């Protein structure tokens, strides 16, 4: 189905405000909901938070009071959207359960985008990053079974495998090596711009989530694991945000943000299994169409350019949450030993990488390894969920 958001009218802005009753959404079932419904909620929460934060930054750089007022009006609605979306998560879920869903998002969202990305340099960036969040899922799943006696398969279902990826202790690179080269805004496929924005927003929210909830744990091992993985999410935000061309003007970036929100709500309407949640996606799409129209107006007026020049003529293929098991297994088999050097990738542990590793990991075991150690000690095994057979790398099979 083709859909051009520039050709549709949404809900007028002054009719988008919701009262408290409308914002008091009924949460999804913590145990019986579709895991990918939870993933879509977490994704859209990250997207709405990026919409808010971007608009705040824009406002801080914007001397024109009228523009600031328009930004503030739209941003207030974005903030309500964020509340309606994130409050779909059930209060009965534990922080660790939500964390496991966050990593499931990072795995299946990034893997799908890597598969669909037309630019090979960007594809490589997603392939590189997904193997790390894949390993985070495995470490948190082990912590979860230790603390709550529950298996992560009750959360991810059989949709995403849980087993070692690139070992978490090796994710700690010199920050210099986390900076990638950006796409070129003039030549890039419009789809590439949407992909980069989506993954960056998701990783940014993951980073913020861990850095806030980590200290709510009392178990020392849990506190430490959130610290360690929280630092890696900082690296991931650096990695993904550097893919975006900084030469895009503020106006152009605003248009991309709103267009991307239209794209994602439109995508999730197509897939949503929960009718109540789908109704929210539909309402929000109709709000975003109006945000996009306003952003396009601003761009025409202040940038003197037609937004159609930088946007896709119609929405690309819908972004889809689906299992990516075989794709991930291939990546694991071929790219586990990669690290970054400058803006590229290498297989050897170069000097700058070794120095960083030495500084962080040399005095005692990193928390991500401690958690496996403690789990083995408690259960006599690790927690894994390998639905497609043994691990693709012989050295990482459980003996």
Partner 1 sequence: MTQTAQAARTAFQDDVVALLTRQHGDIRNLFDEVERATGQDRRTALRQLVRLLAVHETAEQEVVHPFARRLFEGADEVVRERLAEEEGAKETLARLDGMDPGSPEFLPTLRALRADVMHHARAEERYEFREIRRYAEPGALAPLAQAVRAAEAMAPTRPHPGVQGAPANLLTGPVAALMDRTRDAVRKAMGREG
End-to-end CA distance of the chain: 49
Does the footprint of partner 1 cover residue 149 (CB under 8 A)? yes
Report the nearest approach of partner 1 to the CB of residue 279 (Å): 22
Q: Which of residues 11-40 bind partner 1 (CB under 8 A)?
A: 29-32
Report the nearest approach of partner 1 to the CB of residue 143 (Å): 10
Binding residue for Fe ion, selected from 166, 291, 375, 391, defined by CB under 5 A: 291
Number of residues this chain uses to bind Fe ion (CB under 5 A)? 14
What gap in Å lies between CA 269 and CA 35, rounded to an integer? 16
* Paired tokens of 361: 């990991």
CB closer to partner 1 out of 31 and 64: 31
Give which of partner 1, Fe ion, none residue 133 binds (C-beta under 5 to 8 Å, depending on kind).
Fe ion
Estimate the crossing angle of helix 220-241 against helix 367-379, to 10 degrees: 140
Report the nearest approach of Fe ion to the CB of residue 122 (Å): 16
Does the footprint of partner 1 cover residue 94 (CB under 8 A)? yes
Give which of partner 1, Fe ion, none residue 1 binds (C-beta under 5 to 8 Å, depending on kind).
none
* Paired tokens of 186: 């003039």
Give which of partner 1, Fe ion, none residue 221 binds (C-beta under 5 to 8 Å, depending on kind).
partner 1
Binding mask 228-267 for Fe ion (x = CB under 5 A): -----x--x---------------------x--x------
Contacts of 142 by beta carbon, 8 Å cutoff, 6+ apart? 371, 372, 375, 382, 383
Contacts of 349 by beta carbon, 8 Å cutoff, 6+ apart? 339, 357
Enumerate long-range contacts of 349-358, CB under 8 Å, 24 or more apart. Answer: 352/174, 352/176, 352/177, 353/173, 353/174, 353/177, 355/174, 356/172, 356/173, 356/174, 357/169, 357/170, 357/172
Give which of partner 1, Fe ion, none residue 136 binds (C-beta under 5 to 8 Å, depending on kind).
Fe ion
Give which of partner 1, Fe ion, none residue 150 binds (C-beta under 5 to 8 Å, depending on kind).
partner 1
Q: Name the one residue in this structure whose structure tokens are 């994602």.
A: 264
Apex 239 CA angle, 236 and 242, nearest 5: 140
Q: Which stretch binds partner 1 (CB under 8 A): 55-63, 74-82, 87-95, 262-270?
A: 87-95
Q: Which of residues 89-108 bind Fe ion (CB under 5 A)?
A: 106
What gap in Å lies between CA 185 and CA 300, rounded to an integer? 18
Q: Which of residues 183-222 bind partner 1 (CB under 8 A)?
A: 218-221
């Amino acid at each position: 189905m083709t859909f051009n958001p520039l050709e549709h009218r949404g809900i007028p802005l002054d009719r988008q405000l919701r009262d408290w009753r409308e914002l008091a959404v009924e949460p999804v079932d913590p145990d019986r909901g579709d895991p990918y419904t939870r993933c879509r909620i977490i994704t859209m929460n990250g997207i709405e938070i990026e919409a808010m934060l971007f608009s705040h930054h824009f406002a801080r750089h914007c001397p024109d009071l009228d523009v600031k007022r328009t930004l503030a009006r739209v941003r207030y609605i974005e903030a309500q959207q964020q509340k309606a979306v994130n409050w779909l998560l059930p209060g009965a879920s534990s922080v660790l359960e939500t964390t496991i869903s966050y990593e499931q998002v990072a795995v299946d969202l990034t893997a799908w985008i890597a598969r669909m990305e037309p630019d090979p340099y960007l594809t490589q960036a997603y392939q590189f990053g997904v193997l790390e969040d894949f390993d985070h899922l495995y470490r948190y799943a082990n912590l979860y079974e230790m603390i709550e006696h529950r298996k992560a398969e009750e959360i991810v279902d059989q949709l995403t495998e849980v087993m070692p990826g690139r070992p978490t202790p090796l994710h700690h690179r010199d920050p210099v090596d986390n900076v990638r080269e950006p796409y070129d805004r003039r030549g890039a496929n419009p789809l590439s711009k949407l992909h980069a924005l989506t993954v960056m927003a998701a990783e940014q929210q993951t980073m913020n989530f861990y850095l806030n909830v980590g200290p709510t744990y009392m178990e020392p091992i849990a506190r430490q694991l959130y610290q360690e993985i929280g630092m890696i999410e900082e690296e991931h935000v650096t990695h993904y945000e550097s893919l975006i061309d900084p030469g895009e003007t503020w106006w152009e970036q605003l248009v991309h943000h709103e267009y991307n929100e239209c794209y994602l709500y439109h995508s999730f309407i197509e897939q949503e299994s929960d009718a109540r949640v789908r109704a929210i996606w539909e309402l929000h799409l109709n709000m975003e169409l109006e945000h996009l129209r306003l952003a396009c107006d601003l761009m025409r007026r202040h940038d003197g350019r037609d937004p159609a020049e930088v946007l896709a003529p119609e929405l690309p293929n819908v972004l889809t949450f689906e299992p990516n098991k075989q794709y991930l297994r291939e990546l694991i088999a071929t790219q586990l030993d990669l690290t970054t050097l400058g803006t590229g990738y290498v297989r050897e542990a170069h000097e700058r990488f070794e120095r960083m590793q030495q500084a962080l990991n040399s005095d005692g075991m990193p928390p991500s390894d401690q958690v496996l150690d403690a789990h083995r000690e408690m259960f006599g095994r690790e927690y894994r969920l390998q639905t497609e057979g043994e691990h693709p790398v012989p050295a990482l099979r459980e003996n």
